[in-house]
Amino acid sequence: MADTIRVELNGKEREVCAGLTVRGLLDTLNLEPGLVVVERNREILARARYHEVAVREGDRLEFVHFVGGGA
């Protein structure tokens, strides 16, 4: 069994694999990093840092996914 940690993701408690970076978590959730803004513990992360920022026990994450469209 893989080690897991608990985080809050978009207001809901969730267990995720330990050792993930923000980029790894986005990949796990099948989200395109270029279309997502990530807030971690009330701080907006630069996309260039997604691959280096570790997801830790108790983190509060907000993922805002942009969807294209128009009139």
pLDDT in tens, 6-58: 999 999 999 999 999 999 999 999 999 999 999 999 999 999 999 999 999 99
pLDDT confidence bin for 65, thresholds 50/70/90: confident
Total structural domains in the chain?
A: 1
User: CATH code at 10?
Assistant: 3.10.20.30
On whether residue 65 sits in a domain, the answer given is: no
On whether residue 66 sits in a domain, the answer given is: no
Per-residue pLDDT at 71 exceeds 70: no
Closest CA to 7 of 25, 33, 23: 25
Question: Domain range for residue 17?
Answer: 4-59
Q: Are strands 60-65 and 4-9 parallel, antiparallel or unpaired?
A: parallel
Question: 39: burial class by Cβ within 10 Å (0-12, 13-18, 19+)?
Answer: middle
Nearest-angstrom CA–CA distance, 26 and 33: 7
The answer to whether the pTM exceeds 0.75 is yes
Per-residue pLDDT at 1 exceeds 50: no
